[in-house]
Structures are given as C-alpha cells and as structure tokens.
Structure 1
Amino acid sequence: MSEALPSGQSAPTVLRIVLGKRLKELRESRGISLEEAAKALSVSHLTIRRIENAQVSLKIPYVRELLRLYAVSDEEARDFTDMAERANEPGWWHNYKTALPDWFRAYVSLETAAQVIRVYEPHYMTGLLQTRDYARAVIRAGFPYEPDDALEHRVDLRLRRQALLQSSEAPSLWVVLEEAALRRLVGGPAVMRAQIEHLLEAVKDPRITLRILPLAAGAHSATSGHMTYFRFRERELQDIVYTEVGLTSAVYLDQRPDVVAHLEAYTRISRLASELLPDPRTYLDQLRKEFSR
C-alpha cells in the first residue's frame, strides 16, 4: 500500500499534483534525467523529485527554467505558468485550517476536484449529505470538550464542502450507507427526521445515487470501515482511495492493486445493497415516519 498524498500543511491542491506529473512527463519525453534538470536549477535531484510529486509548492522561476530546458513553446509555457500560479493559491478550505486535521486537508482538495465520488459509510450519514443539526451532533460527539464557537467552525466547514454538489461541475456521488448509520439516533428523533427528509430531497438529484445496505446483509467485503473512492477528469490523475486509520490519521492509496481491490469491494456491496433493498426511497420514507412518532 502507498500513501498517495502528503499530509499536513503541505497537502497539495489537485492542480499542483497535475502540474507535477506534467513536468515529469515533459522531462522524461525529452530524455532528461533528474540530475540534469537539477543542475539547470542549481538544486539537488531530490528537489526535482519533490516538485514532480507535488510535495513542495511550485516556485515560478523554477517552473520557467524547467519549461525552457524542456523546450516548451512560449504559449504553452505561459499557460503552464498561469496554472502554476493558481496551484499555489490556497484553496477555500484554507480559512478553516484550525478546523481541518492535517490528514484530512488533501481529502477536501480531492473532493473538490473529483468527477466521481464513491462513498461507503458504515457509521454515520456521509458528510456531503448531512444537515447542520446532524453534523453538529456528530462533531460534538467527536469533540466533546470543544468550545461552542470552535465547534460551529467545524460545522461550517462541513456544510461549506456541500456547495460542490450545487456547482455546474458537480461530481456524480454514489453512496452506500449501512442501515445502522440511518438507525443510529444522532441528536434525537427530530434531528433524525429532518436528516431523513433532507436525504429524500437530495436523492432527487440524478447525480446522486444512494444504496442502503441492510443489517440482514451480514458480513461483507467492506466491513473494515469507511472508504471514499475518487475519480478525476484530469488524465494525469489516477483514481485515489481514502481510508481512515483510527481516530487521528488516514491513508490515501493510488497504487493500482490497492485501488482495484477497493473498487471491487465497493461494487460488490453496492450490488448487494441493491438486491436486498431495491427501493431505498420507500425505506427512507418509512424510517422518517418512525422518527416522527
């Protein structure tokens, strides 16, 4: 397994990852070694490797010199440099850095840029479909001693992430929810009823597909825990899988065997959910009535 993205303050934007890969492709297509590229910048070959792996910000003078070395046309170089400048700009989530764990920053960047997002959620409603009250209750459970203002900052971040579903380039969102996630009483019956109503409204969007995996499904191939599978428009970006490790860390996987294994597991549980509960809307409507009693 591999950690596809660095965590912490240097977690890259997707654009920086793309540009790093393009620089690597240009260098290799010209038959230029890491050492030769490094010599042109008067840096070590490790610096070139870090640039190509999006582990450091893109210094514009370095970018220009590399493009000159790789004999890129003036027009292409201007476009590339413009993109590099944008890649160095902080994402919208920068304003929420105190509410965003180091290991989750890359996730928000990937989520914002994804064309397709597949989520398996065994415990709670997936974050992109939570109501404010539900999100507040979940986050409060995770941060029981958080001051109210800091807690609301975390809630605001979660709700801000949902804006991507309303954008003109909204991703296709596929969600497999365990039945337990819907029956777990979060915030009380009124909060749950509103959450179910919100979900019923959300799945009217043709870009959102929901599957509910009943408890009767028993053991299955994804019982190891939450996973998110990202697919992107950019040809340079391979699919990436995010999985959580305990309470304070995560792993981002981009090696093909790992990605394929997770996609196959996701496909199996999605198919199983569809077979066992082919009409999730009717189930949700019944559940909403239960929380109304």
Structure 2
Amino acid sequence: MSDGRSGGSAPTVLRMVLGKRLRQLREQAGVSFDEAAGIIDVTPLTVRRMEKAEVGLRIPYVRELLAAYGVAPGEIDDFLALARKANEPGWWYKYRDVLPDWFSAYVSLESEATVIRVYEPHYVPGLLQTHDYTAALMRVGFPNEPREDIERRVALRMRRQDLLAKPESPALWAIVEETVLRRPVGGAEVMRAQIDRLVEACDLPKVRIQVMRHSAGAHPGAFGPFHYFRFGFSELPDVVYTESLVGAVYADQPAEVVTYLEVLDRMTVQAEPVSRTREILAELRKEL
C-alpha cells in the first residue's frame, strides 16, 4: 500500500482489512503462499493480491482457504458475509468518471478513519470547503473540462463532507497556513463565506483547527500538504497520504508514519492554539 500511483480500481477499507486478516489466518495455520495457491488452484501471485486487497475477494476461493486454515464454519460464514460487503463498490463509485483511481483509495480511507490529521499550506481542507470555494478551485485546476464535469467534481467533494455530520464522524484536526486564509479564491464574497464555514466548523465537537501564522517562521512540515489517517481496525495500520499533480503515495510503514506524526506534533506547538482560531478567523474576515 506504500505507493498509490498504480492504476486499477481502489479497494474499500473493509477489503483491505479482510485481506490482512486472510494473511494472518494463513500464517497462523502455517500455510505458505504456494500451498494456499494449490488449495484453490491459482498462482501464488493471486493469493498475494487477495491479501493485499489488489483484487476482489472471490467467495468460493475465500471459503476454501478459510476451511483449509482451520476456521470454524460459523466464523467462515461471518467472514464471507463481510467479503460480499467488501466487494460492493463504495458510494464514490458513481463519481468514477471524475475520480482518479489513485484518489479513490483516499476517499475510502477518509470514509472509515476514526482520526484524520491534516496539514494544508495551499487551500482550505476539502472536508471544510464551501461549495463556491470548491467550484472556484475546480475551475482553476481543470480549466479545459466542461461545466458538467466541474459540477460533478464539486458534488463529490460536497458528498465527502457528509462524513462530519455522522454520529460516528472521525476526529478532524487541521493545521492551516495563514496564507490559505489570505489567498483570494473566488473573490471576497466567496472567501467571507468560506471563513464563516470555518468558524462554524469550530463548533463541531470533533473538529480542531489551528492556524500557522507567518510569524511562526520555518517549521518541519513546510515541504507540502499531507494527511494522516487512523482507523478502528487493528488489522489496518495508520496511513499517511501525500499527492502530486499526477498521483499519490500512501505510506503505511511504521517508521514513515511516525516521522509524519512527530512533525505534526511539533507543528501543533508552533501553530496558534485552537482557542485562538475563532479570533484569528474574525480578524481575517474583517480584512476582506
């Protein structure tokens, strides 16, 4: 999962979790890749790809493997029920015409995370953007696309924001550069509404926003934006997402993730405290 730049349909988080669980059960049973492949008459590569969630979980294959691993019949039925659910497309599938494969995995991770931490030096984080702010960004980012496609991209981002209204919404902690709040995206009216949206977000019980002032000087995260995800599944490690214009990288190796977490912790100390965010937003709004 370390590199998300390859093509193909992105897996749901549940499929990632079940793939890792399959690997754990195989290893606990002392079954090698070659032996597992022989059980279902496929190549060892197919078994590897199932465990890495690179392909769908074929129910007959999974049933035979679980039986060979010594899993109890009742537990097999439960696992297969989850596998069928995992094979269903995510809600974002209907936006596949405007959603790059490498970003589909991001939406899946975002939808299932219990904690999301964001550093954003360029724009307001997507989960906190207004419709008009998003539309202005999309028109700049995709200048040659027809209006219908722009509208679908905006609709996708707005649909993602439903996450914050759910009772089981993740904890969202965003560090935003002061430059983000001063950059005139879409004009003064759009920016006033966007700042108002951020003020409203400060009232959400699981949302924390910090502003990194210019006066804070250099800080360890200044190289670019990144997003950190934590999940409620023991099988799924923490993941850090970074992107470029043409792809993305999903880092899940412990040493890499710890590096980003340490940077985030240092940045929270340099940024203005959460208690001052509303005051800062009010000051910046007056300047518009």
Short-chain TM bin? over 0.9
**Aligned residue in 2 for 1:289:** 286
| Alpha-carbon distance in structure 2 between the residues aligned to 1:159 and 1:103 | 19
Q: Give 1:141 deviation, angstroms.
A: 0.8
| Alpha-carbon distance in structure 2 between the residues aligned to 1:74 and 1:60 | 14
**Aligned residue in 2 for 1:172:** 171
Q: Could you give the per-residue CA deviations for residues 219-243 of structure 1, whole angstroms, max 9, x where no partner exists?
A: 2101110100000000001100001
**Aligned residue in 2 for 1:252:** 250
Q: CA RMSD in A?
A: 1.3
| Alpha-carbon distance in structure 2 between the residues aligned to 1:4 and 1:75 | 36
**Aligned residue in 1 for 2:147:** 148
- Contact 1:120/1:176, CA 8 A, preserved across alignment: yes
- Contact 2:213/2:272, CA 8 A, preserved across alignment: no
Residue 255 of structure 1 aligns with an amino acid whose one-letter code is Q
Residue 264 of structure 1 aligns with an amino acid whose one-letter code is E
| Alpha-carbon distance in structure 2 between the residues aligned to 1:63 and 1:217 | 54
| Alpha-carbon distance in structure 1 between the residues aligned to 2:69 and 2:57 | 16
Residue 284 of structure 2 aligns with an amino acid whose one-letter code is L
- Contact 2:127/2:157, CA 8 A, preserved across alignment: yes
Residue 94 of structure 1 aligns with an amino acid whose one-letter code is Y
| Alpha-carbon distance in structure 1 between the residues aligned to 2:264 and 2:8 | 31
| Alpha-carbon distance in structure 2 between the residues aligned to 1:203 and 1:3 | 33
Could you tell me which runs of 5 or more consecutive residues in structure 1 were left unpaired when the two chains were aligned.
Answer: none
| Alpha-carbon distance in structure 2 between the residues aligned to 1:271 and 1:156 | 35
| Alpha-carbon distance in structure 2 between the residues aligned to 1:26 and 1:271 | 42
- Contact 1:121/1:176, CA 8 A, preserved across alignment: yes
SS at match of 2:209: strand
Residue 281 of structure 1 aligns with an amino acid whose one-letter code is R
| Alpha-carbon distance in structure 2 between the residues aligned to 1:139 and 1:239 | 29
Q: Could you give the per-residue CA deviations for residues 105-140 of structure 1, whole angstroms, max 9, x where no partner exists?
A: 100000000000000000000000000000000111
Of the candidates 251, 263, 270, which is equivalent to residue 268 of structure 2? 270
- Contact 1:212/1:273, CA 8 A, preserved across alignment: yes
TM-score relative to the length of structure 2: 0.97
**Aligned residue in 2 for 1:11:** 10
- Contact 2:115/2:171, CA 8 A, preserved across alignment: yes
| Alpha-carbon distance in structure 1 between the residues aligned to 2:268 and 2:177 | 11
| Alpha-carbon distance in structure 1 between the residues aligned to 2:225 and 2:70 | 45
When residues 133 and 14 of structure 1 are mapped into structure 2, their CA distance, relative to the original with a 3 A threshold, is same
**Aligned residue in 2 for 1:218:** 217
Q: Could you give the per-residue CA deviations for residues 40-96 of structure 1, whole angstroms, max 9, x where no partner exists?
A: 011111111111111111001101011110111111111100000000000000000
When residues 6 and 142 of structure 1 are mapped into structure 2, their CA distance, relative to the original with a 3 A threshold, is closer
Residue 147 of structure 2 aligns with an amino acid whose one-letter code is D
Q: Which moved more, 1:72-81 or 1:8-17?
A: 8-17
Identity percentage over the alignment?
A: 54
Residue 273 of structure 1 aligns with an amino acid whose one-letter code is A
- Contact 1:35/1:44, CA 8 A, preserved across alignment: yes
Q: Could you give the per-residue CA deviations for residues 233-263 of structure 1, whole angstroms, max 9, x where no partner exists?
A: 0000110000113x11110000111101111
| Alpha-carbon distance in structure 2 between the residues aligned to 1:5 and 1:68 | 32
Q: Could you give the per-residue CA deviations for residues 185-215 of structure 1, whole angstroms, max 9, x where no partner exists?
A: 0000000000001110111012000000001
Q: 1:31-46 residue pairs with structure 2 within 5 A? A: 31-46=30-45
Is residue 197 of structure 1 aligned with residue 196 of structure 2? yes
- Contact 2:5/2:249, CA 8 A, preserved across alignment: no
Could you tell me which runs of 5 or more consecutive residues in structure 2 were left unpaired when the two chains were aligned.
Answer: none
Residue 199 of structure 1 aligns with an amino acid whose one-letter code is L
TM-score relative to the length of structure 1: 0.96
Q: Give 1:5 deviation, angstroms.
A: 5.0
